[in-house]
Structure 1
Amino acid sequence: MKQYWNEVQPVDGFYAVMNGQISDHDKKIISFLYQPLMGVLSTNLYTTLAYMVEESRLWSEEWNHYQLMDLLGMNLDEIFQARLKLEGMGLLKTFLKEEPDHRSYIYELQPPLSAEQFFTDGMLNIYLYQQLGHTHFSKLKRIFSDAAVNKEEFSEVTRSFQDVYTSMNVRALKNAEGQEASLPDSQMRFIHRERPEPIHIYEDQFQFDLFFSGLSAAMVPRRAFTETVRDTIVKLSFLYSINEIDMQKIVLSSMTPDDQIDLDELRKAARDWYQLENGDKLPQLVYRHQSPMYRDMVSPGETKESKLIFYLETTSPRQLLIDLSEGAQPAVSDLTAVEEVMLGQQLEPGVMNVLIHYVMLKTDMKLSKNYMEKIASHWARKKVKTVKEAMELAINEHRQYQKWAADKKESGQKRRKPIRTEKLPDWFIMQDQDQESPPPQPQAVQAVNQQDFEERKRKLEAIQRKYRKNGGEKGGEH
């Protein structure tokens, strides 16, 4: 059963809560700026929760998730995923109260960033630009901006408070009864516009100790690393997948003559580095690893299969390509093909990893985008979400995938057909050593000779090296 059932069920109750006022302008920002990144389902969930709270109130009455499913026309899995995206965007905070016979949630809606905060965020604006393109992005920027008022030819003549009003008696200002009466009642709070919080990428994602070890204080004084600079470095590292060593060079290139770090130059240098590495493209907002709700393994386990599943669930497709190449950086064309297939078919990263592994070993370690896309389309229609599901479907549909590969070859240039030796991933034929009776293997697998088996085993070692070295724990991301 899928993991979301462990977190929420249709009978669970919830309250929609406003963390301050959310205006129509806020909802416009969410629709125009946030929606392209998180999708229409998340936007609908946010708006529906907001409308559950009556005007000039902070709380709604209690609802349950059955009612929310009916209102939105969405199943519980879709609602849960939409909720996670809102949480990730900083638009929702979730609180849980568990009782013996009842479980209830508080869904606290957070105000979005202002348009100015969004367009100067340094991360969300880049994702939006890549998602929409220059023309559409510029149009949205114009919608949320206007010509600045030129006041240079005017002089201010505004009166101050004391110019207009007579000063009150000192005793009246010290009226304790009036001061106390102004405070909100117990368990109450004033309705106000809450200050939105920007998205935080936690510093544990970036090892500053390693970063500083190759950057002497003489080169860059430590006082230059203010809280804002550190936060920007962490964001850029996440956004552009920049490791600590490469970030050293980027920071050095953004230094000013007075030993300060120019944030604009830092962002530009990071963007230039990424585009140089990735064929002049900008990053897109996708899950780096398998979403936790679609993971079957919380630890590597003891068996070879469980360790491999854990690895595929906790590794990004980019890192998998690096491991399959025994540390070599993947070609830009391969990264582009993986990105387009994964985003186009909306595959989970772990599922994409299984597809990469299967296709590369079927095509002599080459990535065929068309072949990948055909299988990915099939998996998308089957709603494959987990690594295990992808492996099982690859085994069950192996003959059909063989036929697709054969059809592709026949449609190309006619040439003498070589003797073909079947190559398959090791998980295709994997069996635990402690099993008393191994499961029956497909006929194609039985025909594989020992030499090819050893070749596949060697290739699999490349992606197993990381968790073998760490006793089953996954390594860091690149």
Structure 2
Amino acid sequence: MSKYWQELVPVDRYIVSSAGMLHDYDRKVLALLYQPLIGPVCISLYITLWSELEQNRLWSQSSLHYNLMNTMDLKLGEIYEARKKLEGIGLLNVYKKKTDEENEFVYELSPPLSPEQFFTDGMLNIYLYKKVGKERFGKLKQFFCDDLVSLDDYQPVTKSFTEVFTTDHQDSLFVSDETEVELKPEANSKFIGRSGAKTLEGFEDTFHFDLLFAGIKNSLVPKRAFTSKVRETISKLAFLYGIDVFQMQNLVIGSVNAENEIDEEELRKAARDWYQIEYHRDMPSLSDRVQPAIYHDQTDEPKTKEDIYIRHLDTVSPRERLIQLSGGGEPSKSDLQIIEGVMLNQNLNPGVINVLIDYVMIKTDMKLTKGYVEKIAGHWARKKVVTVKEAMELAKSEHRQYQSWAQGKKESKAGARKTIRTEIVPDWMKDDQVEPSQDIAEDKGLEERKRQMEERLKKLKSRG
């Protein structure tokens, strides 16, 4: 978690405003479309701030962040992290005024995108599809759609204003300059209305358009083809799929139509095809996510080896961890499906999944067994494990039980007190090692296998 206390303290005051009228239908959009992407805490913060606005008003009373903490039963750091997500996804604008005594913030709520804007966004809709899956995405799309009524067999008969109304006294409608002022809102006020939803921002700042233009001849793609909308699409696609400038040049050239314009739909399709060929996958997936900052165990620099290990698992995605454990090779499709399945079905955080991967891979000779993974994942979900540290501690305390699951049978109490073989466990479990084997002679190759595994783990750790 970032050092929020440098930006925000409980005694700082805030005022809530709205960029325009928020409608009840917005709640459905927030709950069903935005919540899967940013989580319930962010939506709860948005709704709480919304509730502080008086009915049909655009400004709330001033309040302390301390009161907001009590209302939501959250720590200030959790509120700050949720606030940043709302800012990033375009639902909140933040303004700050610093005085000698305190800081004061204005939290301006922006309305969410309309369902049509969301489902045609080109980025949010893809993230939602990968988060909720094909079936749920289809149901959401159906929920926010309605039947299209064809008017082809009808003739428009609506009457215009001039057909209905007349005006006979032109002179009586004269308005003086003084009266003209009366028609406008008072100073320092504005009419209440509905503003447009805020689109996602910041993408063009991350893309090197000058380098893109330098590599494309004007005869191939005229400069006028790069409209503001096209530039936005290019920068979003580059961010979404990780496309560099040089590859984007080829995609742009291939998307020019007969009118020497860049076809945005063709460009999106070309970007998706490039991603699938490059990474052998359909779209950016759940396994690319990393542990949310709000669930990081450490805020300071790590001091011990275990701290460094925890920090590493907090900052890499499950897919990256699988690559590290396989010596740099791309994970198999089946392994990714297992990991994404437990992330989606058990709703486990990426850092917790990383601990699960490390534990299972070492216990099962560097293989992911679907049933074994799902059984442990289900146990951790019921225990509400959310941090790397919690996952490590639970793996230590329940190691005997997990070992019996791996063997496919339940150990007896006597067997739990006495081991037959020396077990290979992750380094972070070494403090709770089981008793040494008393019958090592029964397996002459055990020590050699253990030595090889330990050497392999050291190499993997040095690469990770």
**Matching of residues 11-410 of structure 1 within 5 Å:** 14-38=14-38, 42-62=42-62, 75-76=74-75, 83=83, 85-94=85-94, 106-130=106-130, 131=132, 132-133=135-136, 135-143=138-146, 146-147=148-149, 154=156, 158=160, 175=177, 178-179=180-181, 182=184, 184-186=186-188, 188-200=189-201, 202-203=203-204, 224-242=225-243, 247=248, 250-274=251-275, 281-283=282-284, 288-296=289-297, 304-407=305-408
Amino acid at match of 2:184: S
Distance 1:208 1:338 in 2: 37
Q: Which runs of 5+ in 1 are unaligned?
A: 411-418, 430-439, 464-478
AA matched with 2:142? K
The match for 1:436 is none
Change (3 A) 1:454 1:199: same
Aligned to 1:107, the other structure's residue is in SS state strand
**Shift in alpha-carbon separation, 1:408–1:196, aligned structure 2, 3 A:** farther
The residue type equivalent to 1:341 in the other structure is V
Give yes or no for the alignment of 1:458 onto 2:459. Answer: yes
TM-score, scaled to structure 1:
0.71
Letter in 2 for 1:355: L
8 Å contact 2:207–2:238 — kept in the other structure? yes
- Letter paired with 2:139: H
Task: Give the CA RMSD over aligned residues.
Answer: 4.7
Q: Write the distance in 2 (CA, Å) between the matches of 1:214 and 1:299.
A: 44
Q: Distance in 2 between matches of 1:150 and 1:445?
A: 83
Contact kept, 8 Å, 1:351 with 1:384, in 2: the verdict is yes
- C-alpha contact (below 8 Å) 1:201/1:235 kept by paired residues: no
User: Which stretch shifts more, 384-393 or 36-45?
Assistant: 36-45
Partner of 1:414: none
Q: Secondary structure at the match of 2:16?
A: strand
Q: What is the deviation of 1:220? A: 5.1
Closer, same or farther in 2 for the Cα pair 1:196/1:148, shift >3 Å? farther
Asked if 1 retains the 8 angstrom alpha-carbon contact of 2:287 and 2:317, the reply is: no
Deviation at 1:267, TM superposition (A): 1.6
**Shift of residue 360, structure 1, vs aligned partner:** 2.1
SS of the residue corresponding to residue 408 of structure 2 reads helix
Contact residue 89 and residue 200 of structure 2 kept, 8 A: yes
Compute the TM-score of the two structures, normalised by the length of structure 2: 0.73
- Judging changes above 3 Å, is the alpha-carbon distance between structure 1 residues 421 and 441 closer, same or farther for their aligned structure 2 residues? closer
1:11/1:65 contact within 8 Å kept: yes
Deviation of 1:205 after TM superposition, in Å, equals 5.2
* Structure 1 residue 457: Cα displacement: 0.6
Tell me, which stretches of 5 or more residues in structure 2 are unaligned?
Answer: 412-419, 438-446
Q: How far apart are 1:264 and its partner, in Å? A: 0.5
Identity of aligned residues (%): 45
Q: Cα–Cα, structure 1 residues 316 and 221, in superposed 2: closer, same or farther, change >3 Å?
A: farther
Give the distance between the partners of 2:59 and 2:262, measured in 1 at CA: 45
The residue type paired with residue 442 of structure 1 is: Q
Mapped partners of 1:100, 1:454: distance in 2? 59
User: Which deviates the most, 90-99 or 364-373?
Assistant: 90-99
What amino acid sits opposite 1:29 in the alignment?
Answer: V
2:236 counterpart letter in structure 1? K
Q: Is 1:442–2:433 an aligned residue pair?
A: yes
Shift of 1:152: 9.2
> Corresponding residue for 1:433?
none
